[in-house]
Amino acid sequence: MKKFYTLLFAMALLIPTSYAQKGLSLGLNGEGLSPSIINQNTWGNGREYDYELTFSSSLGLDVGYNFNDKIGAYSGFSLITLGQKYTDTYQAAGSDKDSDWTRQIKFKYRMIPLMFKFSSSERIVNFIGGMGVSFAFMSSAEQTWTQDGNAFNEQLTNPITNKEFDLGASDVTNRYNKSDIFVNLELGARIMFSDNIYMDAVLDMGYGLKDINAADWQIPNSDGEYNASHNAYGGIKIGIAYLLFTEE
């Protein structure tokens, strides 16, 4: 059976039938992704936890224009969840046994991409690539911090503002910058179902250029140094688009 599907795919690549892709398109996309925060910030508590593989998702609308059968541009709007999970096991101060610690930071962003796409041909199955930037606007940042399954809370003093804060607070939106700019790269395939309908299946990668930590929360780590934190993610995105009109 596997050989049969492989043969079908190979035949699709060789079929001379071509489809025009030029014109204005509207589409929907969904993505399963794995986000990460490069350089974690624990706001001065003196300990960093181990990274845990994290999964999230995004949903979006696409508006594109194909200048010809191989080059196009698109924008749109999407809702994306980013962040990071952490876990660790160690003995807390004043305790005589190890505790299991978990921490999760979850960001909600509204994202507007500006991307160029390149298609290899006009066949049924085409290689596509895309590159560009996305402008992201944070709507919320939530934190879940537990010790042995129970909510963890600790009062610390922010050395920048000299104000006390709850280390394990659930709403931490004010501790992060409200916007980010991502560099994006996409690689994958475009499948033409007809002259007006196609599907893109791509590996989507993004890296945030801005420090996500707000100025008042750029607190040095246990070594007395501060390292900027950045968003990053990789995922599989599937999009379906409809060409409103095509041009010869």
Tell me, yes or no, whether 10 lies in a domain: no
In the chain, the largest separation of any two C-alpha atoms, in whole Å, equals 76
* Residue 226: domain span: 25-243
pLDDT band at 12 (very low <50, low <70, confident <90, very high): very low
Residues paired with residue 126 on neighbouring β-strands, in sequence order:
190
Number of domains making up the chain: 1
13 phi and psi, to 5 degrees? -70, -25
Residue 80 lies in a domain: yes
- Taking the C-alpha atoms of residue 156 and residue 177, their distance in angstroms, rounded to an integer, is 21
Question: Does 158 fall in a domain?
Answer: yes
Residue 37 lies in a domain: yes
Query: What pLDDT was estimated at residue 248?
Result: 55
pLDDT above 80: residue 14: no
Residue 62: is it exposed, middle or buried by C-beta count within 10 angstroms (0-12/13-18/19+)? buried
Are 184 and 222 within 8 A, CB to CB?
A: no
* Residue 208 is assigned to a structural domain of this protein: yes
CA 196 – CA 201 distance, rounded (Å): 17
Is residue 3 included in any domain, yes or no? no
Please say whether the beta carbons of 25 and 62 come within 8 A.
yes
More confident residue, 195 or 226: 226
d(CA 158, CA 216): 8
Q: Determine contact, residues 35/243, Cβ cutoff 8 Å.
A: no
Q: Is 233 within the bounds of a domain? A: yes
- φ and ψ at 100, to 5 degrees? -95, 125
Q: What is the pTM of this model?
A: 0.86
Taking only the tens place, the pLDDT of each residue in 49-70 is 999 999 999 999 999 998 887 8
Instruction: Write the CATH number for 85.
Output: 2.40.160.20
Summarised one tens digit per residue, pLDDT across range 158-203 is 999 999 999 999 999 999 999 999 999 999 999 989 888 999 999 9
In a domain, 1, yes or no: no
